[in-house]
Amino acid sequence: MKTTLPIALFGLLSCGPLIAAPPVLPNPDFTKGEPIPEGATKDWTLGAAGARGWMHTHRLATIQARQVYITKVAPGSPADGVLQTGDVLLGVAGKPFSYDPREEIGEALTAAEAGDGKLAVARWRAGETETVSVELPVLGSYSPTAPYDCEKSKRILEQSSEELAKRMAEPDYGQNAITRSLNALGLLATGDPKYFPVIKKEAEWAAEFSTGHMASWWYGYTLVFLSEYVMATGDESILPGLRRIAMETANGQSSVGSWGHKFARPDGRLYGYGMMNSPGVVLTIGLVLAREAGVKDPEVTEAIDRSVRLLRFYIGKGSVPYGDHAPYMAGHEDNGKCGMSAVLFDFLGDEEGAGFFGKMSTAAHGSERDEGHTGNYFNITWAMPGVSRCGPNATGAWMEEFGAWYFDLARDANGAFPHQGAPKSSGDSYKNWDATGMYLIAYAMPRKALRLTGRKPSPVPALDSKEAHRVVLDGRGFSTTNPTGAYNELPPDMLLERLRSWSPIVRERASHAIGRRKDMPVEPVIQLLDAPSVEARLGACQALAKLGGRGEPAVPKLRELLKSDDMWLRVQAAEALSAIGQPAMAAVPDLLKMIAKGPTPEDPRAMEQRFLAQSLFNTRSGLLGRSLEGVDREQLLEAVRSGLHNEDGRTRGAFSSVYSNLSFEELEPLLPAIHRAIVEKSPSGIMFDGQIQAAGLDLFSKHHVSEGIELTADYVRLMKPHGSQKQIEKVLAMLKRYGAHAQRAIPLLEKAIYYFENEEQDFPKKLSLEKAEKVRVAIGEIRAMTEKPELRELNL
């Protein structure tokens, strides 16, 4: 069966020009007749009441709203006859809204379902305000370990499963491959045989599923469902379909072990933006499960191993980021990828990985769960699967903090869970996506019917109640309106204590506060560099990086840490030295030597080199980014030569500052490596590989290196599409520096014109045609050139 990409996901995955942020919309007073701002269409499910309501949002938060405009009331729902479209809610449970109507309504729903079922709301209608009551079904309270040993969770699971099964049995039932797979998984997670016929129908659909468009996104969830289905039911009739999808996935992996929007090119490089962990981690989970379900092909195991090698790097360092980047440090979660990773490492029996990412998931709540690249659908999908790896006390503490009100607000009167989405003024990238299956998976955890819901014991020791609540507390304080200011008001001793935290995010937030505090003594931070725990020493490095030049007294100890056995501690020490600046120049020889060693058996992807390259050569913050005065040339050249071989495009790009800071004569020993960095594109970090290519071409152009003529003309066509409509002018200017010599490259330029006009894909046609015209104009200018500057030959 073929599928096409839904419009919503096509929009969020396309590689077109970035759209400017929407303007700040007014916060209307509906009691004065002010309307919902034009274009602000985002409204919310208001739980089992059966109504939907609009509220003001700003910077991914509803904390400024104090009114809720009723946009819809479902016929026959508890709110029918009590509320109507156009009503305005001013408060709930006897109190006016005071901090966040979304959370306040959710908490009131939870309390009403645990009590007498009466949801009291302050309703404004036609100039009159009165308190009215919406009668909800009584479901009981969430237990301290919800959804485990929880009667309310059990009742919700039963009600919502029935509702979903009825919809899935309808002839016109249809979803995109992600929501359809998750819905089937949700029913499968109940373990109830009465749902097996409808689930089997879904498995037969999934076994035939095929797409050539953005397959990475769809195949992961399809793999997970099919694999769990085989293991839960023993039905091996769909194994051929499962194997086909698993093999396409394994063979579609990049040469470094990643996936992007699409499967990799034949040369092993990715299309578009390059590595994307949101689909990549799910694909890896799917391959692990497929192997357990009976797909034993060696290609599957090899793909798993390559992917896990990438992902293990982030253990203990921060959240799993968007792609092949530094750890994400703004929050304990980034679009659900920590939850995904907790599940993945749990399946692999990796206690360290599953434990760390399970705790990261447990500490992620509130505004952190509202965030997510293009929306928070996956952030909610993987929340409970990730938290559950730390045991029932963790799930209970997380539900008490966030999940209870959020889940109850999301569940409509029929038991379905429409996707709520992030607080945005209008629309949602996942608008109209069904979220019922993901919530069923959460509520079905106690049944342990699937690997995803704990059929096999986790290698992670369950947190006790005290520790679970402490981890939840570690996640408090994040705000989308002030993302790094959570600890600004804490006294110095409490900030220092947070530098010792298990959580890199807590340490980072404390570091920001320390960096802002002019009264913060530096010596206690420096003393932490000698602390027994690696977390405390990492925290000290993070804080010193924010203190900048004030951290100068720490330079000797930071240089000692460059010899640490812990690679991440070495990296963090280097970043602190870079931030200190000129007083840390004595560490340059140490850092150059470390960069020169390149990959090692312990660091096969040369990740240390990546970060050290930025610490030394970044043009804005690197110790050598603007000047190489006094630097040993042999040591420098050895480091650069090694770094230009790094598989990461951003890392290679860091060394482009050297091209600007050395004379051509000084660069001559590096010319073979510079040439190679142009010709051989990086297999990873491909969104940034153009930086070092363009820098090399510019260098060759300025000094009239003959080999650069054809390379530059080829680059006109081969540069990454994103932003190429502007970059192409600079590249054509490089070619024109060669004068009449560039005429020999005209056939390559004509080839570029044909490509832009007829073949370029995944790029706006209008911009492709504009590029073609720019090349056509450049050809005319080159044809008219007569000057022939003297050329240099590389003689490679």
Same domain, 470 and 488: no
Same domain, 182 and 80: no
Share of the chain above pLDDT 90, in %: 90
Same domain, 109 and 166: no
Contact 696, 675 (CB under 8 A): yes
Q: Retrieve residue 396's tokens.
A: 């209970």
Other beta carbons within 10 angstroms of residue 704's beta carbon come to 17
Residue 796: the pLDDT is 76
| Residue that is last in its domain, among 474, 503, 525 | 474
Strands 44-45, 51-54: pairing kind: antiparallel
Residue 23: the pLDDT is 61
pLDDT at 16 over 90: no
Question: From CA 394, how far away is CA 387, in angstroms rounded?
Answer: 6
- CATH at 358: 1.50.10
Q: Determine the structural domain holding residue 161 and report its residue range.
A: 151-407+436-474
660 lies in some domain: no
The alpha-helical segments, DSSP class H, found in 450-553 are 465-474, 492-498, 504-516, 523-527, 534-547
Q: Is 365 helix (H, G, I), strand (E, B) or coil?
A: coil
Q: Mean pLDDT over residues 567-578, rounded? A: 98
| Residue that is last in its domain, among 92, 108, 135 | 135
Q: Mean pLDDT over residues 290-317, rounded? A: 98
Q: Retrieve residue 405's tokens.
A: 């009100």
623 lies in some domain: no
Same domain, 260 and 216: yes
Same domain, 86 and 172: no
pLDDT at 172 over 70: yes
Range of weakest confidence among 21-35, 219-233, 616-630, 635-649:
21-35
Other beta carbons within 10 angstroms of residue 787's beta carbon come to 8
Q: Retrieve residue 165's tokens.
A: 């099964």
Cβ density class 282-312: b for 16+ within 10 Å, e for less: bbbbbbbbbbbbebeeeebeebbebbbebbe
Q: Is 345 helix (H, G, I), strand (E, B) or coil?
A: helix
Residue 11: the pLDDT is 33
426 lies in some domain: no
- CATH at 539: 1.25.10.10
Same domain, 517 and 555: yes
Same domain, 100 and 164: no
69 lies in some domain: yes
Q: Is 629 helix (H, G, I), strand (E, B) or coil?
A: coil
Q: Mean pLDDT over residues 458-473, rounded? A: 98
Same domain, 48 and 168: no
Same domain, 173 and 112: no
Confidence of residue 9 (pLDDT cuts 50, 70, 90): very low
| Residue that is last in its domain, among 520, 551, 580 | 580
Cβ density class 748-769: b for 16+ within 10 Å, e for less: bbebbbebbbeebeebeeebbe
Strands 44-45, 68-73: pairing kind: unpaired
Confidence of residue 727 (pLDDT cuts 50, 70, 90): very high
Other beta carbons within 10 angstroms of residue 163's beta carbon come to 18
Per-residue model confidence as pLDDT tens digits over 647-700? 999 999 999 999 999 999 999 999 999 999 999 999 999 889 899 999 999 999
Give the closest residue to 789 by CA, choosing from 714, 700, 712, 728.
700
Residue 12: the pLDDT is 33
Q: Mean pLDDT over residues 393-400, rounded? A: 98
Per-residue model confidence as pLDDT tens digits over 118-156? 999 999 999 999 999 999 999 999 999 999 999 999 999
267 lies in some domain: yes
Q: Total structural domains in the chain?
A: 3
Same domain, 173 and 93: no
List for the chain the helix, strand, coil content (%; round to 5). 55, 5, 40
223 lies in some domain: yes
Same domain, 464 and 554: no
319 lies in some domain: yes
pLDDT at 318 over 80: yes
Residue 15: the pLDDT is 33
402 lies in some domain: yes
Confidence of residue 22 (pLDDT cuts 50, 70, 90): low
Q: H or E segment at 45? A: strand 44-45
Entry pTM: 0.94
Residue 791 is classified by DSSP as P
Give the closest residue to 291 by CA, choosing from 355, 245, 255.
245
Question: From CA 409, how far away is CA 112, in angstroms rounded?
Answer: 12
Same domain, 55 and 176: no
